[in-house]
Chain A
Amino acid sequence: MSRHHWRGFINALMFGLTAICALAAVFVLFWILGFLVVNGGRSLSLSFFTQLPKPPGELGGGMANAMVGSFEIVLIASAIGVPIGFLGGTYLAEFGNGTFPFLIRYTADLLNGVPSIVMGLFAYAVVVRPMHRFSALAGGIALSVILIPTTIRTTEQFLRAVPQMLREGALALGASRWKSITTVVVPAALRGVATGILLGIGRIAGEAAPLLFTSFSNQFWSRSLAQPTASLPVMIFSYAISPYADWHRQAWAAGLVLLAVMLLLNIGARLVLSPGAPRS
Chain B
Amino acid sequence: MMGTLAHSTSSGPPSAGLAPPERMQPKLRISRLNFFYGAYQALHNIELEVAANRITALIGPSGCGKSTFLRVLNRMHETVRGARVSGEVLLDSEDALAMNVNQLRRRVGMVFQKPNPFPKSLFENVAYGLRVNGMRGGSRLHEAVEHSLRRAALWDEVKDSLHKSAYALSGGQQQRLCVARALAVNPEVLLLDEPSSALDPIATAKIEELLFHLKKNCTIVIVTHNMQQAARIADETGFFLLGKLIEFGKTETIFKNPSKKETEDYITGRFG
Contact = CB atoms under 8 A, between A and B. Distances in A.
Contacts of A163: 116
B129 A171 contact: no
B181 interface: yes
A193 B178 CA distance: 27
A176 B165 CA distance: 24
Interface stretch (A16-24, A135-143, A179-187): A179-187
Nearest to B167: A278
Contacts of A166: 116, 118-119
A171 B105 contact: yes
Contacts of A278: 119, 165, 167
A97 B114 CA distance: 26
Contacts, number: 73
B106 A174 contact: yes
B110 to A, nearest CB: 4
B117 to A, nearest CB: 8
B230 interface: no
A94 to B, nearest CB: 11
B102 interface: yes
Given A174-B133, A174-B185, A168 B128 contact: no
B103 interface: yes
A171 B106 contact: no
Given A167-B79, A187-B120, A172 B182 contact: yes
Nearest to A278: B119
A175 B105 CA distance: 8
Interface string A149-185: 0000000000000010111111111111001000110
A169 B109 CA distance: 10
Contacts of B106: 173-174
Contacts of B74: 172
Interface residues of B, number: 28
Nearest to A280: B119
Nearest to B163: A276
Contact of A175 (B102, B116, B178): B102
Contact of B116 (A169, A183, A277): A169
Given A171-B76, A175-B102, A187 B119 contact: yes
Contacts of B114: 165
B132 interface: yes
Interface in B127-183: 128-129, 131-133, 165, 167, 178, 181-182
Interface in B178-213: 178, 181-182, 185
B112 interface: yes
A197 interface: no
Contacts of B23: none
Interface string A66-100: 00000000000000000000000000000001000
B270 interface: no
B81 interface: yes
A168 B79 contact: yes
Interface of A: 97, 163, 165-176, 179, 183-184, 187-188, 276-280
10 contacts: A166-B118, A167-B79, A168-B76, A168-B79, A169-B116, A173-B109, A176-B132, A183-B128, A183-B132, A278-B119
